[in-house]
Amino acid sequence: MVLTLAVALGIRQFLLEARFIPSGSMLPGLQIQDRLLVEKISFRSRAPRRGEIVVFHSPFHFDPALQANRRSSPLGCLLVNLPLIGSIPGLQEPACDAYIKRVVAIPGDRVVVNPRGQVSINGKAISEPYVENFCPIDSQGIGPCRTLDTVVPPGTVLALGDNRANSWDGRFWPGGPFLPRKEIIGRAFYRFWPLDRTGPLGAPDPLSGAPAKAGEAAPSPAPAP
């Protein structure tokens, strides 16, 4: 029993884990309560690529402007992520959450995100067939979503939700829009539930429209906002 538990924990820590989708930030492609497999091997040998779906630690874990609200520890996060303990009211901790978004820009990219949430990289509007719900704007082109015009620094990526009108992503993080690579847990690559929508997750390169060379992947089922 102890050995089996140790092996299971080892697999989850270093190789593979399952996560579920608790919010609509990745609609329409990823629906609420979808179950995904997340692999943790690819990014040990290479950087994330545009179009890949990544699971990462909460911005409350790494954003300097949010860390004042953080009161978690690795052990505390382990406990609150256990199904029975984590469901107890009042024990949830934002710094222990995991988030799931799509990489849209990588180091060196000059990225512009307009008021609708549409993205241009190095002066070229990218193809994002997985985005259907853009931010609303008025007749003057003004809307509720924040814009970006910046260059992605080394060691980071820009990750946005596919549901641009309803995603708390880099556009809104108070400490800055970039996701440090070291905060990425893994790559969401396969949906295993519901059964009528199982299959690999696509990761098209938004600059070329071509599939990425590697797949993508969100813990057992623990939430990934």
Burial class of residue 159, CB neighbours in 10 A (0-12, 13-18, 19+): buried
The answer to whether position 163 is within a domain reads no
pLDDT of the residue at 100: 97
What does residue 57 show for φ and ψ, rounded to 5 degrees?
-65, 150
Distance CA 149, CA 153 (A): 13
The answer to whether position 36 is within a domain reads yes
pLDDT tens by residue, the chain, 225 residues: 655 544 444 555 556 999 989 899 999 999 999 999 999 999 999 999 999 999 999 998 889 888 765 555 555 565 545 554 444 554 455 557 889 999 999 999 999 999 999 999 999 999 999 999 999 999 888 899 999 999 999 999 999 999 999 999 999 999 999 999 999 999 999 999 999 999 999 888 888 754 443 333 333 344 445
pLDDT of the residue at 203: 83
CA dihedral (4, 8, 10, 11) in degrees, to 10, reads 140
The answer to whether position 66 is within a domain reads yes
3-state secondary structure of 62: helix
The answer to whether position 46 is within a domain reads yes
The answer to whether position 26 is within a domain reads yes
Contact status, residue 222 vs residue 186, Cβ threshold 8 Å:
no
Contact status, residue 213 vs residue 204, Cβ threshold 8 Å:
no
CATH at 178: 2.10.109.10
> What is the span of the domain harbouring residue 192?
2-104+169-223
pLDDT of the residue at 209: 58
pLDDT of the residue at 214: 35
Distance CA 135, CA 137 (A): 7
Express the helix, strand and coil content of the chain in percent, nearest 5 each. Answer: 20, 25, 55
- Closest among 156, 50, 152 to 102, alpha carbons compared: 50
The count of domains in the chain is: 1
Contact status, residue 159 vs residue 104, Cβ threshold 8 Å:
yes
Distance CA 24, CA 31 (A): 6
Question: What's the pTM?
Answer: 0.80
pLDDT of the residue at 80: 47
pLDDT of the residue at 93: 54
CA distances from 165 to 29, 117, 127, 160 (A): 14, 8, 17, 11
Q: What is the pLDDT of residues 88-136, one digit of tens each?
A: 554 455 557 889 999 999 999 999 999 999 999 999 999 999 999 999 9
Enzyme catalytic residues: 25, 101
The answer to whether position 155 is within a domain reads no
The answer to whether position 180 is within a domain reads yes
The answer to whether position 55 is within a domain reads yes
Distance CA 21, CA 218 (A): 8
